[in-house]
Amino acid sequence: MREAGRVRVVTGIISGIAIGAATIGIVAAASSAVLSVLFARRLVTPPGRAESELRILALGESTVVLSASPESRAHGRFSLWFADSTGHARIGAVISESPRWVARELLSVQFGQPKAGDNARTSGWFYLNPAELGLAYSGVLVETELGQAPAWLVPAARESSTWAIHIHGRGVQRPETVRALKEFYDAGVTSLSISYRNDTEAPNSADHRYGLGSTEYRDVDAAISYARSAGATRIILMGWSMGGATALQTLMRSPNRDMIIGLVLDSPVVAWGPILELHGTINRIPTPIQRAAQAVLSGEQAQLLVGTANPLDFPSMNFVERAAELDRPILLMHSAGDAYVPVGPSRALAELRPDIVTYEEFDVAGHTRLWNYDSERWLTAIRSWLSIQLGERTADAHATDSAN
């Protein structure tokens, strides 16, 4: 009897352990599923206001002292947004630093009055509109399938049939693109710096979600149609970050693709898989959950789980795998120090297509901050590439005219 009782007790303990283990497994699986959905949703949801993680510690006549961080130590010229982004200044080189603070040149204050204690953040924008580069411009409206999207029109000095469409990145607006406008103007190219769905300026899509370029390209195509109606016959696309992914999608999918003569890409998303891997690693998300997030976004349940109107087709957005399909000259600029969009896919694309890709790799510059780190090199790369492309196109046009 005692032995039988012991067997029942041991059996009960084992059963309890098995049930507990099964419960833990179910909870763990459910937690992983929830985490993968949250990770996926974050990728396609437009972010709110950027966080201001720095602090202004002191001010001098031409100096600002900031709390120490990789952001405040970064070399180059930047915008400084302060007091919950109600004020804007421009800062220059690092003057001195310690483990706790960084003193930088205070170049100018555009609006607001910075003071010690203000929260702050840096931005790569630097210029807020084309006029700050001495460029005349006007505000125009591009008719998209969702409604009218505002854009800046910067006409060339003389009437030009070559236009550039400038496409900003994820979570920002048109000022990101201003740094490049003068080079296009000097090359005789009219520029259209556009807004697109869900960027706080253009109309929102019904799902209020990013398509990671797969839906935004439609607004770029609308901008090309606007340029065509104004006399443009040739289009250059310049895209920043996700704007680069959008430019590549536009090249492949636009009904107006015959007009596109080349692309300029700054810190572009060439493939989305490595983005998920990088940010999964940064946020200590296990690899299986990273893969599950991609499956969620590309699966039939995407609308239910993450709110996108349609599943995302990641293979169609991988331009390393689609490198052979590209057929226009590309100036591709990226940084090995990019901690947001990994440089690997850009390198791979450049290696696969040296016939069409002119590749400029920077070393420590941050994401879309190549101009800020080394403006002369960045501007020279654009200037040289434009000179070659426009010169070749002009020569081709003359040859065609002569043949006729």
Answer whether residue 65 is part of any domain: yes
Answer whether residue 29 is part of any domain: no
**Residue 272: count of CB within 10 angstroms of its CB:** 22
Residues 166, 130 contacting (CB under 8 angstroms): no
Among 91, 123, 155, residue at a domain's last position: 123
Tell whether 112 and 147 lie within a shared domain. no
Tokens 């505000």 label which residue? 139
How many structural domains comprise the chain? 2
- Please indicate whether residue 1 or residue 145 has the higher confidence score (pLDDT): 145
CA atoms of 181 and 23, how far apart (whole Å): 59
The alpha carbon torsion through 64, 67, 73, 74 (nearest 10 deg) reads: -80
Residues 124, 60 contacting (CB under 8 angstroms): no
pLDDT of residue 40: 85
Compute the mean pLDDT over every residue in the chain, rounded to the nearest whole number: 90
Q: Output the six-digit token pair for 358.
A: 């002119």
Query: What's the pLDDT tens digit per position in 201-216?
Result: 999 999 999 999 999 9
Beta strands in 195-317 (DSSP E): 234-240, 260-266
Give the range of the structural domain holding residue 117, as residue numbers without chain letter.
Answer: 54-123
Answer whether residue 209 is part of any domain: yes
Q: What is the mean pLDDT of residues 300-310?
A: 90
Answer whether residue 110 is part of any domain: yes
Answer whether residue 49 is part of any domain: no
Query: What's the pLDDT tens digit per position in 134-172?
Result: 999 999 999 999 999 999 999 999 999 999 999 999 999
Query: What's the pLDDT tens digit per position in 235-254?
Result: 999 999 999 999 999 999 99
Tell whether 114 and 156 lie within a shared domain. no
Tell whether 346 and 389 lie within a shared domain. yes
Query: What's the pLDDT tens digit per position in 39-89?
Result: 888 899 999 888 899 999 999 999 999 999 999 999 999 999 999 999 999
pLDDT of residue 393: 55
Assess whether pLDDT exceeds 90 at residue 11. Answer: no
Beta strands in 47-182 (DSSP E): 54-59, 63-67, 78-82, 87-97, 101-111, 119-123, 138-144, 147-154, 162-167
CA atoms of 94 and 353, how far apart (whole Å): 38
Assess whether pLDDT exceeds 90 at residue 188. Answer: yes
∠ at Cα 161 (142, 244), nearest 5°? 55
pLDDT of residue 9: 41
Assess whether pLDDT exceeds 80 at residue 32. Answer: no
Tell whether 239 and 347 lie within a shared domain. yes
CA atoms of 280 and 278, how far apart (whole Å): 5
Answer whether residue 280 is part of any domain: no
Tell whether 242 and 371 lie within a shared domain. yes
Tell whether 242 and 355 lie within a shared domain. yes
Q: What is the mean pLDDT of residues 210-232?
A: 98
pLDDT of residue 17: 39
Answer whether residue 5 is part of any domain: no
Assess whether pLDDT exceeds 60 at residue 362. Answer: yes
Assess whether pLDDT exceeds 50 at residue 10. Answer: no
Tell whether 148 and 262 lie within a shared domain. yes
pLDDT of residue 35: 83
- Please indicate whether residue 31 or residue 220 has the higher confidence score (pLDDT): 220
pLDDT of residue 39: 84
pTM of the entire predicted model = 0.89
Residues 276, 43 contacting (CB under 8 angstroms): yes
pLDDT of residue 31: 61
Residues 311, 296 contacting (CB under 8 angstroms): no
Residues 120, 81 contacting (CB under 8 angstroms): yes
Answer whether residue 237 is part of any domain: yes
Q: 344 falls in which pLDDT band (50, 70, 90)? A: very high
Query: Of 349, 294, 299, nearest to 323 (Cα)?
Result: 349
- Point out the least confidently predicted range of 5-19, 203-217, 290-304: 5-19
Tell whether 259 and 224 lie within a shared domain. yes
Query: What's the pLDDT tens digit per position in 373-392?
Result: 999 999 999 999 999 999 86
Tell whether 86 and 224 lie within a shared domain. no
Tell whether 244 and 341 lie within a shared domain. yes
CA atoms of 116 and 94, how far apart (whole Å): 18
Please give the DSSP secondary-structure letter assigned to residue 177: G
Assess whether pLDDT exceeds 50 at residue 353. Answer: yes
Among 94, 123, 152, residue at a domain's last position: 123
Q: What is the mean pLDDT of residues 363-374?
A: 97
